[in-house]
Structures are given as structure tokens and as C-alpha cells.
Amino acid sequence: MHAPAHFPGVLGHEEIQGLLRDALSRGRLHHALILAGPRGVGKATLARGLACALTCEVSPAVGCGACTSCRRILRGQHPDHASLAPESPGAPIKADSARLFGLDRAHAPFEARSHLAVIDPADALNHASANALLKAIEEPRAGVHFVLVVHSLARLLDTLKSRCLVVNPGVLSADHTRRVVTQALADQPPNPPPDANEIDLAIQLSGGAPGVALEFLRDGNLSLWLGLLSACVEASDAGPRGIFAGERAPLWQHWQRAALSMEIVDPVGAPKAGATVTKIPARARSTKKTKASAKKTTSSSSSKKASSKKASAKQQRMAARRLADVWLIHLRSQLAGGRGLFDPPGGHPNAAPRLARQVQTLLRFRDRISANLNVRMSVEQTLLDLGR
């Protein structure tokens, strides 16, 4: 009766929380859920909140957030809140890892009455690793539940989808986005701390995805992305002449800087939006990942003057994904009658049908980024398509 209305650490997604609470209190939670929704809206946070609700004895079906069990889950230290992720962001989940993970669930729950196994991002399952998990997901032990976190349902194997209940967390309200961002910044202040204007812009850019807003703020370089977007818009309007203008053209200089900046950013295969957003400080991660190259193990300032360096394919893929996100926000704002993130070149906004076509082109581009061997070529092709 006095139970809190929401899962620990979860803001927004009221309808989904209500459905899950209801299912939990009737002991009817589906054994395999797919949380499918935009990047950064808090899917992983929602899964963690659900794990609290599943295991909490103080406030069953909701989670109190304060008992030993809840606190361990929120810290990522409870054996009955397990997760499977790729070895590195952007890589596929290996079949062996998937098989082992599935086998381990045959011994769960370990301490609590229930066990939540999270696969995040499940977009990283390829044919082999998805198949390796099928049996575990199809016939889990009593009390064992799976949650597959995905950005795009299209990439999931049909046989896997058919065994799961799909739930779609959407974007948050501006108010909830701000509260999640504020809390996360208070928990882990970036260095240097962002000012109020930067926070406002990041929230606006995020379109209701606090994880995306936090990426912008931790990156500390919003203007880098606005500059790249502006150069891209100009180049695609100019056509081949603007796109194939050589490495020294502003477009590709911007691109190079943006891609290199991904080195120091928390790489986001699946942003962990919510109160406990980032686990490893960007600098520590950067140092660890590039230990083989002394030149690279420097602080963030080095990436700014490093435009002579080549961005790796992984950095380019991450940059392409973020460029697509920023551009989509720009277009959607224009579709809604706004000016977008900046005034269109020449002051002429595109007509709605063309904007809608461009949104489709960008969505296709973003969907295929991980499959593209040559990111630069796919960026060029997309710029050509967008200019038509």
C-alpha cells in the first residue's frame, strides 16, 4: 500500500513499469522480454529496476532500492542480475560466450528467488550466438527471466523474437530527461563540468534520450558535432563537388576530428541511461584501450590537434552513428516546423516530403553502419542520397 510507484532508479516509462509490476505481482512475468527502443532512453536502467523488483523482499514486485539486495543490484554486484555483452563495443557477441551464458542460467537463481539475465545489446547477437542461446531462453528454469535489450528489432533472429514478449520503451519527457541527466551528472561529474547552456542543448539534442544527452556532455564537445553536421548539410546540398572535395575540405577535416574524438568518449554500444550511467572514467578507458601505442595514451587535449592521425574503423562507425543521431534530431525538428539545430543554408528549409525522405535515408544508413566495412564510403553515399 505504501510501496513506491516505480522501480529503483527508473524515471518515466510509467505504462511499462505498470504492466511489469502487474505481471510480477501475479507471478506471471514472461520468461523472456525484449526491450526495444531508441538509444539512451534507459532500457538498461529499466532492466536493472526490474531485477530489483524481482528479487527485493522488502517491496516485492517493485523493489525498495534500499535493502541489501537492491543496493547490490544497483551497484552491479548481485549474482542474480547477470549480463551478457560483447567483448568490446560494436563487436558481435561470440557464440561460445553465449553458450556459456546460457549454460550458467541452468544453475540460477543463485541467491534470490528469481534471476534476471540481461543481454545488452542483443543487437550484437549474430546467427551463431543467437542460436546458442535459443534453448536457454526457450526453457529457462523456474524463476529465471531473460531480458534482451535492442535498438533495432530488425536485426534479431526471428526464432528468438518469437519466444519473447516485445516491450517498447519510448523517449522520456523533457522533464524526466532533465532529472535523469542532472542526477547522473551529480553522481559522476564530468571534467570539466558542463555549464547550464551545454546541458540545455544536450537535452534538446537528445530528443528525450538522457543517455544520448550524457554522451554529448561527457564528450564535452557539442560544437564539434554541430560543426560536422553543418559541413555535411552543405556538402550534400552541393552534391559530388562538395562531397569529393578532398581530405582538406572542411567536411572531412570535421569528420576526422569527430571520429578521433570517439577515442576518449565512453563508447556506447548501449548507453546506460539513468542514475548509474558510466562505469569507467573516459580517461582510464582510453589509457587501457590504447596501451600498445604510447602516442595515443594522452589526455583529451591531444585529440584536438591530432587531425593528421587516422581514425580507426571502430571510431568511424561510432562517429557515423552519432552523426546520424544528430542529423535525425535536426531533421525531425524541421519536420515539426522548427529551425532545427541551426538555420538552413540560404535560409530555405527543405519541403516536408524531402525532409521525410532524408529521415528514411538516415535511418537506413544508421541501421547498416555495423555491417559496412568501409564507413567513409557509406557516409559519402549517404551524403549523395541526401542531396537528391
Q: In terms of Cα–Cα distance, which of 387, 260, 322, 382 is closest to 40?
A: 322
Minimum distance between the CB of residue 49 and Zn ion, rounded to whole angstroms? 11
Closest separation in Å from C-beta 79 to Zn ion: 16
Does the protein bind Zn ion through residue 70 (CB under 5 A)? yes
How far apart CA 387 and CA 240 sit, in angstroms, is 9
State the angle between helix axes of 210-219 and 196-206 in degrees (0 to 180), rounded to the nearest 10.
Answer: 140
Among 50, 56, 270, 273, contact with Zn ion (rule: CB under 5 A): 56
Question: Which of residues 115 and 178 has its CB atom nearest to Zn ion in the complex?
Answer: 115
- Upstream peptide bond of 60 is cis (omega within 30 degrees of 0): no
Rank residues 11 and 375 by Cβ distance to Zn ion and give the closer one: 11
Closest CA to 268 of 225, 317, 220, 304: 317
Least distance between Zn ion and beta carbon 59 (Å): 6
3 sits near Zn ion (criterion: CB under 5 A)? no
Total binding residues for Zn ion by CB under 5 A? 5
Q: Of 164 and 275, which has the nearer Cβ to Zn ion?
A: 275
Residue 9 vs 40, nearer CB to Zn ion: 9
Q: Is 16 in the site for Zn ion (CB under 5 A)?
A: no
Q: Which of 11, 64, 119, 156 binds Zn ion (CB under 5 A)?
A: 64
Which residues 23-52 are close enough to bind Zn ion by CB under 5 A?
none
Distance of CA 268 to the CA centre of its chain: 6
Q: Which residues, 6+ apart, have CB-to-CB distance to 104 below 8 Å?
A: 82
Instruction: Tell me if residue 82 falls in helix, strand or coil.
Output: strand
Q: Is 19 in the site for Zn ion (CB under 5 A)?
A: no
Q: Does 116 bind Zn ion (CB under 5 A)?
A: no
CB of 69 to Zn ion, least distance (A): 5
Taking Cα atoms as reference points, which of 56, 69, 135, 61 lies closest to residue 102?
Answer: 135
Indicate the helix (H) or strand (E) that contains 214.
helix 210-219
Q: For residues 44 and 51, which CB has a smaller minimum distance to Zn ion in the complex?
A: 51
| Residues 123, 367 contacting (CB under 8 angstroms) | no
- Is 67 a residue that touches Zn ion (CB under 5 A)? yes
Cell, residue 15: 505504462
Q: Which is nearer to Zn ion, 5 or 196 (CB)?
A: 5
Nearer to Zn ion, 68 or 299 (CB): 68
Q: How many CB atoms lie within 10 A of CB 353?
A: 8
Give 67 or 249: the residue with its C-beta nearer to Zn ion: 67
Closest CB 29 distance from Zn ion, rounded Å: 17
Ordered alpha helix ranges (H), 239-307: 240-243, 250-261, 282-289, 301-304
Pick the stretch among 29-37, 54-62, 239-247, 278-286 that binds Zn ion (CB under 5 A): 54-62
**CA atoms of 356 and 334, how far apart (whole Å):** 10
Return the sign of the alpha-carbon dihedral for residues 361, 364, 367, 371: negative
Contact residues for Zn ion (CB under 5 A)? Answer: 56, 58, 64, 67, 70
